[in-house]
Structure 1
Amino acid sequence: MNAIAPRGRMFFANPGPTNIPDSIQHAIARPSIDFNDAAFFAMYEKCVAGLKRLLKTEQHLFLYTASGHGAWEASMANLFSAGDTLLVIETGHFSESWGKMGRALGLNIETVAADWTRGVDFAALRAALAADTGHRIKGVCAVQNETATGVMLPLPEVRAALDATNHPALFLSDTISSLGCLPFEMDAWGIDCVVGGSQKGLMLPTGMSFTGVSNKALEAHKSSTIPKHYFDWTEMGGRRHKSFVGTVPTSLFYGLEESLRLIEEETLEGVLARHTRLAKAVRAAVRHWAGNGDGVTLFCQNAERASDSVTAILVPEGHDADRVRATARNSFNVSLGAGLNKLAGRVFRIGHLGDLNEPMILGTLASVEMALKLNGVPHRPGGVAAAMESLTA
């Protein structure tokens, strides 16, 4: 006999894709339109201007019908040539994946190693840059928010390391799970190429990504020899939309227009403050569950690097994080994120980014606490009350 599915609306607490607001879904659900139609093009330009405001840049923007991985590939293929060396700052699964992609494109990938629970030691980054007296390193890749671990990387310190060593490498940043969730300033922080995606803080379906590109990076693009066509910025630059070698995903732009409206209605400052408030509540619950150290714990052990987008929760040895997730999903209609890479089965993740509020977070935490109890995972009861205390402090 098939199990009866839980009733009511799902509490979607994944770290991406995220909840899509009703108004965005309604905006997307419209008839097709010619992407060269004057009315669409005016809206398109409005969206590009809005994205630039969110990125805090006055430089260049290229968009793609692709997930964030497509924008990753675009960033590397447009800026470098086979044999070039890139320095990737280790953060977790996604920094490893970006480096793996670079190797597939013929790049030489070096890594600044880091403890996944704490984040990189910037002295090690400065040492690696200072040792490169011949400027063999052409780019430094940084994932601002590591979705797999719940540890964020302070990008101004990466820029400071480049400046302190007078290193000319291009500075690339992944903002896929941080844009619209954590502070970000492309121009002020001297970032040369920014990778972003639609399905996280922008609250859209998966399928659109983009790169913010500095003037310095666009100049470097001219000498890149990695083969490309769909992602080629030169090819895009000759088209009316300055993006999209092919059909423009018109429906997603109507959703993006509404997404930007919602963010600016709340104000970006208000959006970031809400993310911080909800993240602190989640961490307060997990710290309470940890009890005297024999219960579930925060995977991130560096409070200054804790992510406001996602919290990774480590279960004690001998317990299975995926069973906790399955119970939350099958019994309470709560969807949690899985552990990735070497954290598979060891952690589950609560996403607190995008379209979320206090009742949604509290409902998620209550369901997680019940799932912990049903699976016999050690924890101190009362995490929801700790979260409520945080929210009303």
Structure 2
Amino acid sequence: MSFQNPVFIPGPTNMPEVIRKACDMPTIDHRSPSFAQMFRPAAAGVREVLGMSPTAGEVLILPATGTGGWEAAITNTLSPGDRVLAARHGMFSQRWIDLCRRHGLDVQVIEAPWGEGCPVQAMGEALAADREHRIRAVLATHNETATGVLSDIAGLRRAMDGAAHPALLMVDGVSSIGSVPFEMVSWGVDIAVAGSQKGFMLPAGLAILGLSPRAVKAMEGANLRRAYFDLRDMLNSYSGGGYPFTPPVGLINGLAVSIEMLKAEGLENVYARHHRIAEGVRRAIAAWGLRPCAARPALYSNTVTAVVAPEGFNGTDVVTLAASKYGVAFGVGLGEVAGKVFRIGHLGSLTDVMMLSGLATAEMCMADLGWPVAPGSGVAAAQEYYRSTALEEQRVAA
């Protein structure tokens, strides 16, 4: 693998040099005012990215990844034997289900095909049938990275409200937050989980959580075991601008710089850039005569696209050849779509010029492997789209 080439995986994402340098800093006393001066702006910026109220609820930044963030979410708000409702429609929704079961929770699972989004109607029906309100939490994966599917979280909240159900809504936004719109307050999300290595363009190592006032209240009666991830300890220390243990100072300094970059570009412009780059990828895929794994356009993710391999071909071969011959990273298919797809990540620090290099590499690999794809076809389709929308993007940025 060449360090000179950008990566086209759905995370960790390409790291801007200014963020890399921000993480590479001298040791400071993490109990000093200097640490608080970098931590507080970072936490305040996360509120804005999550679409939280400036004052209500809490932001927590943990030394972990998104999986650690999910563990913190459930262990701080639920108790052994509590029932949670979750849909399984991809590898990452499956992993959250497994995590809950390992913690002794009673998981009610609604199955959906891989390539579909969260089955909002079925979830609403399950909640309406739960007249005793035994379901304490609803788990949803906003962006299913394995299949390139973006689910309707606002619609899920409407279904919960339609059933008049009091369950907490917990959302995995690891591969969406910071790259596509996320509205914690208006969508009625109680816990949102993100990670540093995706839209925030940092190395892996931070789990970023937003908690609504309802979620904070739920912590009072929860008694699943936790120690390192006890958010009560975190909140008590936050009041003084610190941590109950040693924090990853360099990553938090990098997060503060990441927030500055996102705000300087403007969140609406960040979202528009992701849509534009993703649409160029989708046009390339269509020109190849292939299709995304996502079942229909309304589900298309603007952060990752899983490309379905033609009959008789293996998507993993594209990823293996790209790495060994061209020094470029794409994502393999996972779980039920292993071998059936290869994944193109298009999130974080990425431009259309960078994306064109990835599409050209994918074309070379497919041609080398004998796939029925005309070399240059996808690149040309993406070029035409990027050329026709470049001035529009510049006007948005201005």
Classify the TM-score, shorter chain: over 0.9
Q: Is the 8 A contact 1:117 1:301 kept in 2?
A: yes
- Structure 2 CA distance for partners of 1:121 and 1:65, relative to 1, 3 Å: closer
Equivalent residue for 2:23?
Answer: 28
- Report the 3-state secondary structure (helix = DSSP H, G, I; strand = E; otherwise coil) of the residue aligned with 1:110: strand
What is the DSSP-based 3-state SS (H/G/I as helix, E as strand, rest coil) of the residue aligned with 1:63?
Answer: strand
Q: Could you say which residue in structure 1 is the equivalent of 2:4? A: 9
Q: Deviations over 1:47-67 (max 9, x none)?
A: 110111111213201221111
TM-score normalised per structure 1: 0.94
Write the letter of the residue equivalent to 1:238: N
Which secondary structure does the structure 2 equivalent of 1:256 belong to?
helix
Q: Provide the rounded CA distance (Å) in 1 between the counterparts of 2:241 and 2:170.
A: 21
Q: What TM-score results when the alignment is normalised by the length of structure 2?
A: 0.93
Distance 1:298 1:246 in 2: 44
Q: Give the deviation of 1:242 after TM superposition.
A: 7.0
What residue in structure 2 maps to residue 69 of structure 1?
A: 67
Partner SS state of residue 239, structure 1:
helix
CA offset at residue 380 of structure 1? 4.0
Aligned to 1:314: 308
Give the whole-Å Cα distance in 2 for the aligned partners of 1:98 and 1:243. 29
1:293 alignment counterpart: none
Indicate which of 354, 357, 360 corresponds to 2:354. Answer: 360
Asked whether the equivalents of residues 64 and 243 of structure 1 are also in contact (C-alpha less than 8 Å), the reply is: no
User: In the alignment, residue 334 of structure 1 is paired with which amino acid?
Assistant: V
State the secondary structure of the residue aligned to 2:208. strand
Structure 1 partner of 2:161: 163
Is the alpha carbon distance of 1:264 and 1:183 closer, same or farther for their aligned partners in structure 2, counting shifts above 3 Å?
A: same
Match of 1:391 in 2: 386
- How far residue 122 of structure 1 moved from its aligned partner, in angstroms, is 2.4
Matched residue of 1:313: which SS? strand
| Mapped partners of 2:145, 2:329: distance in 1 | 16
User: Which of 177, 183, 186 is the matching residue for 1:185?
Assistant: 183
Corresponding letter in the other structure for 1:330:
S
Aligned partner of 2:273 in structure 1 is 274
- CA deviations on 1:59-93 (whole Å, 9 max, x unpaired) are 20122111111001000101101111101122310
SS in 2 for 1:350: strand
Aligned equivalent of 2:84? 86
1:98 aligned onto 2:96: yes
Q: Is the 8 A contact 1:65 1:244 kept in 2?
A: no
What does residue range 263-302 of structure 1 map to in structure 2 within 5 Å?
263-290=262-289, 296-302=290-296
Using the TM superposition, give the Cα deviation of residue 97 of structure 1 relative to its aligned residue in structure 2, in angstroms.
Answer: 0.2
Tell whether the 8 Å contact from 1:155 to 1:189 is kept in structure 2 after alignment.
yes
Q: Does the CA-based 8 Å contact 1:179-1:196 persist in structure 2? A: yes
Q: CA deviation at 1:249?
A: 0.7
Deviation of 1:120 (Å): 3.5
Alignment partners' CA distance in 2, 1:98 and 1:265: 34
Q: Alpha-carbon deviation of 1:207? A: 0.5
Please report how far the alpha carbon of residue 33 of structure 1 lies from its aligned counterpart in structure 2 after TM superposition.
0.6
Q: Is contact 2:61–2:207 with CA below 8 Å preserved after alignment?
A: yes
Corresponding residue SS for 2:86: strand
Q: Contact 1:237/1:243 (CA < 8 Å) preserved in 2?
A: no
What displacement does 1:327 show?
A: 1.5
Whether contact under 8 Å (2:307, 2:343) holds in the other structure is yes
SS in 1 for 2:237: coil
Q: Does 2:340 match 1:351?
A: no
Structure 1 unaligned blocks of 5 or more: 291-295
Q: Which amino acid in the other structure matches residue 104 of structure 2?
A: G
Bigger CA drift: 326-335 or 168-177?
326-335
What is the number of residues matched between the two proteins? Answer: 383
Where do residues 192-207 of structure 1 align in structure 2 (5 Å cutoff)? 192-207=190-205
Matches of 2:77 and 2:342 in 1, distance apart?
36
Query: How far apart in 2 are the matches of 1:243 and 1:208?
Result: 15
Instruction: Supply the distance in 1 between the matched residues of 2:323 and 2:212 (Cα, whole angstroms).
Output: 43
Match in the other structure for 2:49 = 54
Secondary structure of the residue aligned to 2:288 is helix
Contact 1:89 1:113 in 2 (8 A): yes
22, 31, 38: which one pairs with 1:43?
Answer: 38
Deviations 1:294-344 (A, max 9, x none): xx4211121001000000011123212121112212222211011111222
Q: Which runs of 5+ in 2 are unaligned?
A: 389-398
